[in-house]
Amino acid sequence: MYLLYLDDSGSAANKSESHLVLGGICVHESQITRLSKALDDLALGFAPTTPDEIEFHASEIFNGRSAPWSSIADKTSRAALIKSVLKLVADASRSTCTFACAVHKDSFPDRDPMEIAFEDLCSRFDQKLRRIERRGEKQKGLIIVDESAYETSLQKLTQQFRTLGTRWNVIRNIADVPFFVDSKRSRCIQLADHIAYAVFRRYHASDTNYLDVILDRFDRDNGVLHGLSHKRSPGYKCSCPVCFGRATRGSARKGTRKGARHEPTD
């Protein structure tokens, strides 16, 4: 079984943020213990006797306002710690990959950005499981979400998951409704938090420092990037890896014809 751990970054209601991101890590069940131990080992550096009390939360590390991150006065050192967490993802086994969906909120004024992102990632996760099945390996998937996102629209979406999943045609390989867990108790949710944050920094602040660490780990097939998506209106100009890749493939399909239309959101 593959588990997709998800967390959000950014707020649907915060007008000062252009994007909302839902993202995380897709892990085969056999790799969960190994990844969790790697983060446990990193926690030992901050609490040698009580590493379980250390929760890695990227925005809290970045801001450095709360313990134990407030003890790291240097902003560059805190940024390096976030990258160290992301490096664990970058160095994970080949069966592990990342997913994220960044939604440009103003492009969809009448829709809930969390619903857009959740639908997109459910579909992409199911597509990955179908590719694995075509290679002769039958695997089911399960989605696990940080419970702090429970009070958002994800709660409603989860209640409607079977109906929505049928409408989206994505529940074939996803075994059950999403489960919500306490991020303090799940190292993989903490990794998901860092992945969502890395993508959020890219789209909200044009800061690629964090996304660059894990960009190669987003789900791909035959060189095509499937694990990262950017939902925006066709008029929103963007050169992110998703939009650039689509524009490049669109140009290749259309030859060298001038005025090729920038493809709309996928």
- By CB under 5 A, name the binding residues for Zn ion: 230, 238, 240, 243
Which CB sits closer to Zn ion, 69 or 99?
99
Q: How far is the CB of 125 from Zn ion (least distance, A)?
A: 21
Which CB sits closer to Zn ion, 128 or 230?
230
Q: How far is the CB of 67 from Zn ion (least distance, A)?
A: 37
Which CB sits closer to Zn ion, 45 or 234?
234
Which CB sits closer to Zn ion, 188 or 243?
243
Nearest Cα to Cα of residue 59 among 51, 69, 46, 71: 69
> Three-state DSSP class for 31?
helix
Distance between CA 72 and CA 27 in Å, rounded? 31
Which CB sits closer to Zn ion, 215 or 240?
240
Distance between CA 160 and CA 154 in Å, rounded? 10
Q: How far is the CB of 203 from Zn ion (least distance, A)?
A: 8
The two tokens of residue 35 are 């990844």
Rounded to 5 degrees, φ, ψ at 20 are: -120, 140
Which CB sits closer to Zn ion, 154 or 240?
240
Long-range contacts of 232-238 (CB under 8 A, 24+ apart): 232/103, 232/104, 232/107, 232/265, 233/104, 233/107, 233/108, 233/264, 233/265, 234/261, 234/262, 234/263, 234/264, 234/265, 236/104, 236/107, 237/262
Distance between CA 208 and CA 138 in Å, rounded? 36
Contact between 85 and 191 under an 8 Å Cβ cutoff? The reply is yes
Nearest Cα to Cα of residue 99 among 79, 119, 69: 119
Q: How far is the CB of 168 from Zn ion (least distance, A)?
A: 22
Q: How far is the CB of 198 from Zn ion (least distance, A)?
A: 15
Q: How far is the CB of 186 from Zn ion (least distance, A)?
A: 30
Which CB sits closer to Zn ion, 25 or 100?
100
Q: How far is the CB of 124 from Zn ion (least distance, A)?
A: 16
Q: Could you give the residue ranges of the DSSP H alpha helices within 91-186?
A: 113-134, 154-159, 161-168
